[in-house]
Chain A
């Protein structure tokens, strides 16, 4: 260190005193005085917020006053939402799907059918959304989440025949690339649910279920694309193999609607959007409101017909069917309203407590003498 600065010195550095005679101008020009700027002198104008009683206490009351009404609004809205949920897993011996659940085998070609009766106590107004729910199903497991190839799903031809390594062990089957590859696609939920209303006469009226419009717009229109467009999917997927667990190839998922096949099948897209938590629900169908006067689902008896294809009992999973109406804030969500009310109340309460404390000890504070 010493050496380096010694070296840096000019040889004639010792005569540097000489220019000092040169006059004040030269000396002033060479002044090393730091600039007198607000920044360099740390005098930038600044706002110094202080947590005084005058600012903090009103803040608490304001938060309380904002949160409590919001919470009440949310709570009321949430309570106005109709939701009905039925577990059809078939765990109990007396449940209708018990035998289907027990006798499941991947080799079955014929679906096992069962039906569940239920009653809606209250009519469901407006559009009703039909969900299937799975429990204890780890769609958020790291290995599960990454087991997909987005390039393939985007319709990339090379990825179609040569999927990403992430898809292992569902990458190749019999020497052919699996399309769609990966564990997520392989475990596609494939129960079919049908809903019938049993009117007062005892006749079963099929309730029309809309199967489109259940996926994210970006998923449907951006993220998922069939290779080579939507025409002649059979040809497009030639040379690929269907996922191991599937019964039908991907281009044959929806026989009723040719535009809902391949990677852009909405049921498939919905499944591919993995859930964050092991208990989740996914949108299955939408029941559109038909007439203004009648409720979409009047109260009464209903039958849910299930073609039971999806085994969950092995890992202690559950399957549910959920019917729900929707408000501006989505589905039934009592937690949010209660949480808002609670937090709002606590803030208010804290405000009062702090106010009392502040007043009690105010004398000490106001004297403001500075010990020194």
Chain B
């Protein structure tokens, strides 16, 4: 038997049996007592920390200890403390927010009385009362509400990020309960599924008075939602606290690592291996030495009593060397990397160029661990709606009776500057007091045409004002707010409003308008609703004179077929216009009407009623009925709506693709819409050799289409390496061998001329295991890939596919809840913040409010981050090898006894004081080319994608350089000092002088090296470099001072060494010599590299030096602008019109039934109070509707039950 949950209303005793979680939530991890142990335990789960702890323990064994314990404990304690403080702060805020939430008040019905209770005291089975605009305290079963039919409206922004309202309805029996008295005696029992994290699904049964009622998600109010437009409602707590769907969904996000991280971990492992090797070599040396020399030397240096043979000695010396050589991977590496990334994140947060003043949102780096990966992105997966487009529709052009009006401003602005300036925005106010002031139109001939009373024009706008499902609210006279289901409709109705055909209000049976200043009322006879198959909608109205007319608007493809033959000529002209509009990337609709006689209407009405009442195949019958009347229509014209792109989208895409980043659009939209947007944002161009469309419904057809696309792609190329292989494939035996994906550089050659458009249902097949590679190789050969009609899951699958097979860094960008899966599965997730809800942003790693900021994020911040991180790592490994390997060489001269070369304080401080800041400053502030250059020359991005700046080869070069430096640093002082003496005759070859000389030489050499590596010397860099050098000398003199020695004679035995050593000219000559020997080859090598094989960035920096280049050199992407201009003439042929309604089916029914009339008034009241600035805002809000629809539609195709895909407005519910 499946697990289930039983809840009985108003019966705490009964429910307590099951020990359901209370409504108290706890997201914090620690309390005051557990903090230290738990936090330390967590921290020591990090391998690095444990490793250092292990070293610390080793150092406590006197026979092994080659370093004092503090050389390890100081950095370790530092790291642990910093992390602990950070964790504690985080947890403190979590405590605070937990407390705040837990102490919220809610009204609980206890023994028939409403009592105020804190949220945390609410129990499963309680009935609580919610009021308007309150947060839902727990997952509730809606029992009754103040609204008719037990309806209530919620906003689910916190839950799934969608800010549109959703309708919930109680089961009819409980909605009749009404008041508190009835509710307190309600003792129904709910049996339902156990807690889970599926937001869109609930299944349960209510048992009450010996009857069963099926419960679905439609009856549930989930925690985190907000009640809207509903005075009050009552709900039964089903899931509380941690069991709520909200909390169930708040699982920890997967920890993302960058490729540099992974590389770094590999390298650290290698270094450990190297460390062990060195330890072994030195231990063997120790064994030999102890046997050959040490055993004989015992009269002066006896072996420790417990160590009586050379083998044991060697074993101990191995561990001693592990301790002193561990600095090749110092603990400060990890801390420094974090600090640098944090710095980069702050720069992202602070960037003014990524601040959107309209929505007052700055870019935000929500994760601080991924910055350098931003410089390596190869694939971008983008959502469309809200990401590429603003989801604002504007009525741009129209064709009325064969005449076209309006200008497409976007186009004009780009290409005909002068003409653009001469065009003025139409001012409607003198003509029409009801006009919407935010409406823009740029052709006064249309207004003239309306004014002179052109019949066609008037009929055109009349249609627009009547044929829709928009709701209106008139707060005060003339202040109209439209609430449209899709932004397209809103735009059309608003256009009609401004041209004098104002839709005022509707009732279930009438539509009131103001036509050219005169009020008019139409009787609404029927709404022939929209759906995806019909691609059109119609209304049948009776006007004041009693004439019946059908108005229809729809996709030109379907509508033009249903015209009366006499329209042929007009159809041709309009068709041309439609082509023209489509070429501009506008969304088109054709409009038509048909006059009906009373008899026709009666007849049809009868058949319609029949169909409506049919129980089986109702849908089909209705469709047939609609089909029947939508015939022989008269064409009125066509509209063109601009789906407004986000600002700068085509430019951004052009720049990014010049940076060799491939952009895939994954959208829930229809193919036509997606393709349209593809063209308008320059992803698709008419220059493309071919645009493959994969829309097969079966495995076979998809495979066929993919393969033919692949062969077309390859066959067109001559001398293509894969061509030969491809030729063998056309008749493959099942199962066909998938063509191996060509190597990536070949792909680069191939791409550029093809585009692939694939439908969701085809994608499902293409993503199957055996077709994956085929799909991938085809898709990767294309310059642009658009996947339409994809589900959120498929979005993630596509991302995973690329991640798995291409080993490339992927970035997903989106704004809605449906993008969350893809954002989470990509290496980097970017959320568009500002307009939509917060779900995508919450799941994302970076968020900002405009798509165009992506170019800055990647090309500027990402590039810099990558560059800096690589330079940092190179230098860091170098400096530690130079530092540590000196011990290795010294081992050969000190009997492999693990004697350190340096003072132990130097070893302690080297990584955390003497050399930390300069490299941090470089890692945070370095720049090679200024930000605008990296935007002008997107090619600069390439090194990151190809992983050129830090890879295994670079690592070995750094290591080799470090080892070389260590050789110089040891052997130069060795050669000089062994026979040298001070000017007073005292030999210089004593241990302390040698230590000070080597250490000073080391600090100076690595400082010179960082000076060479630093490409961008800000004040901070100067301070850090000079400060570090200064601090070295200051601290050394302090540690070698007499006063410290007098206090702790046993700790500071280097007393006087600093003065004594550094006063000797020989020492300085030695240091200078060592520095020269270390640096000169590096200098020569770098110079040669720069001179013979300059990188683009080097050239740019140099060029800047030579002559400050004017802007005239030209941004790289500007080139594409001219290309697109060039193609204008040629593109007329490609017609991409589509019925672009992102429209919800079934709204017509809702209107005619009148059920939502109250919704509209309430909703609009609330909207109006919150957003008074006009319909644009309303449309902004509406933007989410489309999103919901894609989302739900997708799920529907997956066979899941979705709340809004079927509107359960009838009182009886379809049982599950």
> At the interface, yes or no: B1070 with Cβ under 8 Å from chain A?
yes
Binds A, one of B47-55, B413-421, B713-721, B1094-1102: B1094-1102
Contacts of B683 on A, CB cut-off 8 Å? none
B1080 touches A346 (CB 8 A): yes
A238 within 8 A of B: no
- Structural contact, A18 and B1170, CB atoms closer than 8 A: yes
CB contacts under 8 Å to A, within B1115-1159, are 1116
Contact A9–B158 (Cβ < 8 Å): yes
B925, B1050, B1070: the one contacting A44 at CB < 8 Å is B925
A371 interface residue per 8 A CB criterion = yes
Assembled-state Cα–Cα distance A36/B357 (Å): 14
Query: How far, in whole Å, are A44 and B1018 apart by their CA atoms in the complex?
Result: 6
Q: B614 to nearest A CB, angstroms? A: 44
Q: How far is the CA of A14 from the CA of B1059 in the complex (A)?
A: 69
Please state if B1091 and A32 are interface contacts (CB–CB under 8 Å): no
CB pair A275 B989 closer than 8 Å:
yes
* Interface residue? A235 (CB, 8 A): no
Residues of A within 8 A of B158 (CB): 6, 9
Q: Is the CB of A50 within 8 A of B988?
A: no
Are A330 and B937 in contact, with the CB atoms below 8 A? Answer: no
Contact B362 A33 (CB under 8 A): yes
Which residues of A lie under 8 Å from residue B744 when comparing CB positions? none
A52: chain B residues within 8 A (beta carbon): 1090, 1102, 1105
Contact: A14 with B1066, CB < 8 Å? Answer: no
Asked if B66 is an interface residue, CB under 8 A from chain A, the answer is: yes
9-residue interface stretch from A115-123, A140-148, A201-209, A300-308: A140-148
**Binary contact readout B577-613 vs A (1 if CB under 8 angstroms, 0 otherwise):** 0000000000000000000000000000000000000
Say whether A267 faces chain B, with CB atoms less than 8 Å apart.
Answer: no
- Whether A331 contacts B979 in the complex (CB less than 8 A), given A34-B349, A138-B894, A326-B985, comes out as yes
B1094 / chain A contacts, CB cutoff of 8 Å: 365
**Which residues of A are found within 8 Å of B352, using beta-carbon distances?**
33-34, 36, 40-41
B897 engages A280 (CB within 8 Å): no
* Mask: chain B, 379-392; 1 = CB below 8 Å from A; 0 = not: 00000000000000
A157 contacts the other chain (CB 8 A): no
Say whether, besides A5-B838, A7-B97, A53-B1091, A354 and B1084 are in contact (CB < 8 Å).
Answer: yes
- Determine whether the beta carbon of B296 is less than 8 Å from that of A314: yes
Is the beta-carbon distance between A335 and B1096 smaller than 8 angstroms? no
Question: Are A7's CB and B98's CB within 8 A?
Answer: yes
Q: Contact at A156–B1049, with CB atoms within 8 Å?
A: yes
Q: How large is the interface on A (under 10, 10 to 19, 20 to 34, 35 or more residues)?
A: 35 or more
A229 at the interface (CB under 8 A from B): no
Does A311 reach chain B (CB closer than 8 Å)? yes
A293 contacts the other chain (Cβ, under 8 Å)?
no
A142 touches B894 (CB 8 A): yes
**Smallest CB separation, B85 vs chain A (Å):** 19
A277 to B716: give the CA distance in the assembly, Å. Answer: 73
A103 at the interface (CB under 8 A from B): no
Binds B, one of A89-97, A213-221, A250-258: A213-221
Given the known interface contacts A145-B991, A150-B1049, A283-B986, the answer about A365 and B1171 at a Cβ–Cβ threshold of 8 Å is: no
Is A326 in contact with B300, judged by CB distance below 8 angstroms?
no
Question: Does B689 lie at the interface of the complex (its beta carbon under 8 Å from any beta carbon of A)?
Answer: no
Q: Does B285 contact A (CB under 8 A)?
A: no
Does A76 touch B at the CB level, under 8 Å?
A: no
Q: B899 interface residue, CB < 8 Å from A? A: yes
A36 to B351, CA, bound (A): 9
B895 touches A141 (CB 8 A): yes
Given A8-B97, A14-B133: A329 and B1066 interface contact (C-beta under 8 Å): yes
Kindly state whether residue A72 has any CB partner on chain B within 8 Å: no
A278 and B894 contact, Cβ closer than 8 Å, known pairs A316-B293, A335-B976: yes
CB of A49 closer than 8 Å to a CB of B: yes
Shortest Cβ distance from A351 into B: residue: B1084
**Interface: A358 (CB within 8 A):** yes
Mostly, the B contact residues are: helix
What 0/1 readout, one digit per residue, does chain B (348-359) give for beta carbons within 8 Å of chain A?
A: 011110010100
**CA separation between A40 and B351, bound complex, in Å?**
7
- A265 interface contact, C-beta 8 A: no
B301 touching A138, Cβ below 8 Å: yes
Contacts of B864 in A (CB 8 A): 42
Q: Cβ of B294: which chain A residues have Cβ within 8 Å of it?
A: 138, 141
Does A31 reach chain B (CB closer than 8 Å)? Answer: yes
**Beta-carbon contacts under 8 Å, B1036-1058 to A:** 1042, 1045-1046, 1049-1050, 1053, 1055-1056
Please determine whether B1050 and A150 come into contact, CB atoms closer than 8 angstroms.
Answer: yes
Whether the Cβ atoms of B360 and A330 lie closer than 8 Å is no
Residues of chain B contacted by A127 (CB below 8 angstroms) = 985
B304 at the interface (CB under 8 A from A): yes
List B residues 959-1014 near A (Cβ within 8 Å).
972, 974-995
* Contact between chains at A42 and B927 (CB < 8 Å): yes
The smallest C-beta distance from A108 to any residue of chain B, in angstroms, reads: 14
Binary B-proximity of A48-82 (CB < 8 A = 1, otherwise 0):
11111100110110010001001000100000000
A280 closest partner in B (C-beta): B989
Residues of B within 8 A of A23 (CB): none
Kindly identify, within residues 275 to 297 of chain B, every residue whose CB is under 8 Å from any CB belonging to chain A: 293-294, 296-297
CB distance from A59 to the nearest CB of B (A): 7
Q: Does B1073 contact A (CB under 8 A)?
A: yes
Known pairs A129-B981, A183-B301; A34 contacts B350 (CB<8 A)? yes
Does B422 sit within 8 A of A, measured CB to CB? no
B801 at interface by CB-CB < 8 Å? no
Given A6-B158, A143-B304, answer yes or no on A333-B979 (Cβ-Cβ < 8 Å). yes
**B1128 CB, min distance to chain A CBs, angstroms:** 24
Q: Are A350 and B1084 in contact (CB under 8 A)?
A: yes
Is B135 in contact with chain A by the CB < 8 A criterion? yes
State A9–B101 Cα separation when bound (angstroms).
9
Q: Which residue of A lies closest to B1053 (CB)?
A: A150
User: Contact between A141 and B897 (Cβ–Cβ < 8 Å)?
Assistant: yes
Instruction: Check A273–B1086 contact: CB distance below 8 A.
Output: no
Given the interface pairs A129-B985, A315-B293, A331-B985, the reply to whether A142 lies near B897 with Cβ below 8 Å is yes
What residues of chain A lie closer than 8 Å to B171, measured between beta carbons?
none
A216 cross-chain contacts in B, Cβ below 8 A: 986, 1056, 1060
By a CB distance below 8 angstroms, the chain B residues around A339 are 972, 975-976, 1073
Cα–Cα, bound, A216→B27 (Å): 65
Closest to B353 in A: A41
B134, B1050, B1171: which has the most chain A beta carbons within 10 Å?
B1050
Chain A nearest CB, measured from B277 CB (Å): 21
- Which of A3, A48, A223 is within 8 Å of B27, CB to CB? A3
A40 contacts B350, C-beta separation under 8 Å: yes
Chain A, residue nearest B289 (CB): A138
Residue pair B983, A329 in contact (C-beta under 8 Å): yes
B892-931: CB near A (< 8 Å → 1, else 0) gives: 0111011100000000000000000000000001010001
Verify B360–A1 contact, CB threshold 8 A. Answer: no
Q: Is A174 part of the contact surface with B, judged by Cβ < 8 Å?
A: no
Whole-angstrom distance between the Cβ of B774 and the nearest chain A Cβ: 34
Contact of A49 among B94, B133, B1015 (CB under 8 A): B1015
Task: Answer whether A169 and B305 are a contact pair too, CB < 8 Å, given A41-B352, A44-B925, A330-B988.
Answer: yes
User: Shortest beta-carbon distance, A209 to chain B, in Å?
Assistant: 13
Q: Are the CB atoms of B893 and A340 closer together than 8 Å?
A: no
Contact A277 B1073 (CB under 8 A): no
Q: List 24 A-B contacts (CB under 8 A).
A: A4-B94, A5-B838, A6-B246, A7-B97, A11-B134, A11-B135, A12-B133, A17-B1170, A17-B1171, A40-B347, A42-B927, A44-B1019, A47-B1017, A48-B927, A50-B1090, A151-B1049, A154-B1045, A168-B305, A245-B299, A275-B989, A280-B990, A324-B981, A329-B980, A370-B1096
Knowing that A7-B101, A48-B1101, A278-B895 touch, tell me 16 more A-B residue pairs with CB under 8 angstroms: A7-B97, A11-B104, A14-B133, A46-B925, A50-B1098, A51-B1090, A127-B985, A216-B1056, A276-B990, A276-B991, A314-B299, A324-B981, A329-B1069, A330-B982, A361-B1091, A368-B1102
In the complex, the 9 A-B pairs of residues with the closest C-beta atoms, listed nearest first = A218-B1056, A276-B994, A3-B250, A129-B985, A142-B897, A40-B350, A7-B97, A315-B296, A142-B899
